[in-house]
Structure 1
Amino acid sequence: MSVRSLLVSIIIPTYNRAHLIGETLDSVLAQTYTNWECIVVDDGSTDGTEVLMKTYCDKDSRFQYHHRPAGRLPGGNAARNYGFEFSKGEYVKWFDSDDIMHPNFISKQYLILSEKPSLDFCACQWEYFDDVGQIKKVYINLKPQNESIYSYFLEGHVFLTHAPLWRKSFLINCELFDEKLKRGQETDFHFRILTKNPKYLIHEDFLFQVRRNHKSIESTSNNIVPQESVLIYFKKVFFILKEIDFDKKEVVRSYIWYRCVNQIGILMSKQKSILGRWKYFRGLNQFYSKRTDFYIIYLFLFVALITNRGYYFYSLKKYDLRKNK
């Protein structure tokens, strides 16, 4: 490693992953790029995570172990943000505590950003794997033909939290992960980043593996909470889009409008009382439109408000604007 190499901060939130995080940390130790610090932030584990982390911190001083402060909201988002506050690297990599880095993950991305100093981040491809060893590669849209926000929502130009290596100088003045969201947090974060018109590169290399068929760090027994987070996310996008300009903006706004009203239908379907359904139905007023679609959907949801028929919102799928892009 060159003496001129810069520090990379790897930030990993964790919750009750003592049986998995060791494999993740071993993949960090195996990195061919060695000038890193790994900041693990515990979101309140009740298993043996603390004992396991002590063995890694004792073995290698590049590991740090912190607990999310009691004053911060529980969840991986607060842990990610808290880890960022501790980071000292010129580059930042968020990762998850049950996934695996390929040995050249950091070195490959570090080289790209070193050779292209105008880039704010670069992001790679990834693979999914399960407990029986099956691996599936995921190809994202490398070079979208349309504006990045349009491509992000309508052309598959997306990336996971793990995929980018960021210049910290770019992130320092950005709002990071929304600590109130329980679902949609990474798409929310990346969308808001794209509104700042960053310079970035999506490259072809498959550099990490994401574990499938395992409980998410954001899992909750009350499934209404993540569904409400999805609505909050789409509402944020809908209103942010009002304030910015880009090519094909109205097509994207139409798609997000559809996602908002469809999510209201999904939430209504989970309520047993008219009062519970009314809580979400009244939110339709925020998305009023003179378009015929609005009146049709309003009628669907009004009938659902009264009758609580569980099938009604599926019929809204035909209004998915992606087919009309």
Structure 2
Amino acid sequence: MKPTVSIIMATYNRAQYIVESIKSIQAQTFENWECLIIDDGGTDNTSEVLKPILKEDNRFSYLKRTDNYAKGLPGTRNYGLDLAKGDYIIFFDDDDIAHPQNLEICVHEFKTKTIDFCRYIRAVFTGDFNYKYDFSKEYTHFEIDKKDVNRILKNELLFNSCAIMWKKECFDANHYIEHLMYAEEWELYSRIVAQGYKGISIDKILFYGRKHEQSNTGEFFKQDPVRVKSNADAIVLVFQNLKKEGLLSSSIIRYFIQVSLDYKKYNLFNRIMLTLNLSKKETLKWKLYYTQLPLRLFFYKWYKKYLKK
């Protein structure tokens, strides 16, 4: 039977976590799904620990990323996207835990509303997971469309990879940028919403992310140069897309010019200006803003500190 939902799980050397993640998928109250486990060239015993599960449950497929896709999370997920058979797509990580009602509630929202995606709440945990779930089906929701793109870009409205179910059509012309090693989902999901796809956000925790230093996010906050450079590259791609969709505003330009102060090594400010291709007058205005910004931020922080006294 054709699966309703395709779960795409990229994996790389996570044998110590992946079985627990897989069992949370098997515990789903909605059962018509496929799970594509795509290995990005790991060297541990992931294939061995998965053998019993693959033998007993044919909804799981274990594949190795082919050379047609770049090594890394984006390429691995793109391979899964091109194989997926479901009407809906969801990305689960290989070290996290899905709420048993995750698929059931999201599919219900798609069946009862005209939406392209269903966002939900993602909680985080460290160490052993506490298997005490809230099985209530009472929750509120709000709508999301292209007017919310700036909130997504400023991380005021988080779009975590494992906290959204999408209609497959959202990815017909949209895939991950494969050279990005950080912020790839942030760039892709803001791009999809900017194109006019609409969805909802429901106020219920349906996913639990495991926090540890070996994650991409953990490496970024440790200032891993590959992750930091990728974030700068993603910002430039975001500006290209905003320009294409006619969604650029002074507020979002101002926000990322301030961000670019932390990315001088990657020439982010000049790359933003090059992408914007503004008039000489407008370019000069933003260059002056950028030059004066450190001093303005210094006095702003001093003023806030003074007010607290």
* TM tier, smaller: 0.7 to 0.9
1:76 pairs with 2:73:
yes
CA distance in 1, matches of 2:263, 2:51: 45
Task: Say yes or no: does 1:127 pair with 2:127.
Answer: no
Cα distance in 2 for residues equivalent to 1:226 and 1:170: 26
User: C-alpha displacement at 1:124, in angstroms?
Assistant: 0.5
SS at match of 1:64: strand
Structure 2 CA distance for aligned equivalents of residues 10 and 42 of structure 1: 14
- Name structure 2 gaps, 5 residues minimum: 132-140, 277-281, 301-309
Q: When the two structures are aligned, how many residues end up with a matched partner?
A: 283
Q: Secondary structure at the match of 1:162?
A: helix
Between 32-41 and 156-165, the greater mean CA deviation after superposition:
156-165
What one-letter code is carried by the residue in structure 2 that aligns with 1:152? I
| C-alpha deviation, 1:81, in angstroms | 0.7
* 8 Å CA contact 2:69, 2:78 repeated in 1: no
Quick one: distance in 2 between partners of 1:285 and 1:150? Answer: 19
Q: Report deviation, 1:230.
A: 1.0
TM-score under structure 1 length normalisation: 0.77
Stretches of structure 1 lacking an aligned partner (at least 5 in a row): 136-140, 269-278, 301-313, 321-325
Q: TM-score, normalised by structure 2?
A: 0.80
The amino acid across from 1:119 in the alignment is: I
The Cα offsets for residues 222-268 of structure 1, whole Å up to 9 and x where unpaired, read as: 9222111111111112232223334x822112212332x32432x36
The residue aligned with 1:56 is 53
Change (3 A) 1:171 1:72: closer
Corresponding residue number in structure 1 for 2:12: 15
- 1:227 aligned partner: 228
SS at match of 1:147: helix
Cα deviation for residue 319 of structure 1 reads: 10
Determine if contact 1:72/1:78 at 8 Å carries over to the other structure: yes
The structure whose RCO (Cα within 8 Å, separation 6+) is larger is 2
C-alpha distance 46-112 of structure 1, shift in aligned 2 (>3 A): same
Q: Distance in 2 between matches of 1:182 and 1:51?
A: 27
Trace 1:1-325 onto structure 2 (pairs within 5 A). 7-116=4-113, 118-131=114-127, 142=142, 147-154=147-154, 156-172=156-172, 174-216=173-215, 223-246=224-247, 249-259=249-259, 261-265=260-264, 267=265, 283=271, 286=274, 289-291=283-285, 294-295=287-288, 297-298=290-291
After superposition, the C-alpha distances for 1:260-319 in whole angstroms (9 at most, x for unaligned) are: x32432x36xxxxxxxxxx7797586378222x62364589xxxxxxxxxxxxx768569
C-alpha distance in 2 between matches for 1:318 and 1:194: 35
> Partner of 2:135 in structure 1?
none
Counterpart of 2:161 in 1: which secondary structure?
Answer: coil
Q: Displacement of 1:67 after TM fit?
A: 0.4
Distance in 2, matches of 1:36 and 1:232, equals 35
Instruction: Give the aligned residue type for 2:54.
Output: C
Read off the aligned partner of 1:169 and give its amino acid letter. E
Distance 1:134 1:180, change over 3 A: same
Q: Aligned equivalents of 1:145 and 1:67: distance in 2? A: 35
Identity of matched residues, %: 26
User: What one-letter code is carried by the residue in structure 1 that aligns with 2:189?
Assistant: H
Quick check: which one's helix share is greater? 2
Change beyond 3 A, Cα 1:294–1:188:
same
Alignment partners' CA distance in 1, 2:255 and 2:289: 16
